Structure 1
């Protein structure tokens, strides 16, 4: 049993998920410091920097992608009103301004965010409220944080979640409607929770399923 658990653990947790690393960096209490701290404990010296760069590059790609989308929606170049009452676009001046700004590139939201000091560690920290309050300082990075931090995290293996139907819809239940199947699944979870809560009564999950199938078979035969 231990080997099976170890195999499942290695399958899902040995390689640090990229988005989970990004979400850690987006926590102003941790940023890159927590990544460096734990990666030094997880990986050998030759792998630490490679994994750190992988997570940081993923975040930079996200910031660049969101920034590219924002640049498409920016306002058009400024126009000037002439004495003849017509709008004249100073294209050459606009190009000059753009080239002049490109000579001294402005720091990205990510660079400014990482250079700022980490906020103190607190237990009841509300990260979403922090980004809501401080997002104006990092508008592009705020959009990334809004989308990444809203992803629900689940430790339920995907194959277990998708195989639940096979444990509920047996050969006798195929004709049942969806509402009845949903009711059976809820009832099964409630009954199983009650059985697990009994200290003196121990039953394996497979035994519970066999008992449930036997009861259903008797009902159908009646």
Structure 2
């Protein structure tokens, strides 16, 4: 498969190497009645997204390249000479290119979303980055030898940047936790799928630690007996249980209310706890995460400041 892409790369390079060759190619395009106005682009061999752009355009002109073989004898001669050249692109080469194009499109689309500020909000970064990793891992198990080898090369480059959990910016995961459609359970699933058990457990612990630390930093919450105790509880708690003249009913009531107040302190849920245990929102394309946090800022308090 890699050889097929390289042959197409050489064909494009030949056409673009001089104005005369490009003109001859345009004549072939006209004769084949190809209506596309796209311009041939040459890829950078080490960049998958540029390879996608080259193939996505070049495939449309397959018939023009085949006619060029007849119209321009130098085309065949040049691509058949030299150690790396093995002739013109064959039908099999073109089919391989079409087969491989959807896989390259994954890289191209992700590059656009991650690098273009108009295409992405920060909560989408994790899904793009680790989504590619999971797809590559799946392709590595392909029974197609060409795709299998190509995927292994991709995985080597991917792992160079994303296999070391100590170098990963944990905010990639934190912002995904703050997406009310996914939260921590989804993030933990992604981590489990992307790393081995030991690394996954370490990374999940780090994410939870940072999440809690961020919440504490932004939160002004202080543990009290009760933020707004009921009138009945307040009166009961003011009763002096050491008063020997206190009747049994009042004594028992005061003791019980004091215990209940302490229980509330122990079992108090922070805004972070409430957020993580509340049901996730429905996952749909029209969901506006910024608007959601604006509407729920009172409910989740300091957590909305992080979001």
RCO higher in structure (CA 8 A, sep ≥6): 1
User: TM range, normalised to the smaller chain?
Assistant: 0.3 to 0.5
Rg (Cα) greater in structure: 2
TM-score of the two chains, using structure 2 as the length reference = 0.34
TM-score of the two chains, using structure 1 as the length reference = 0.46
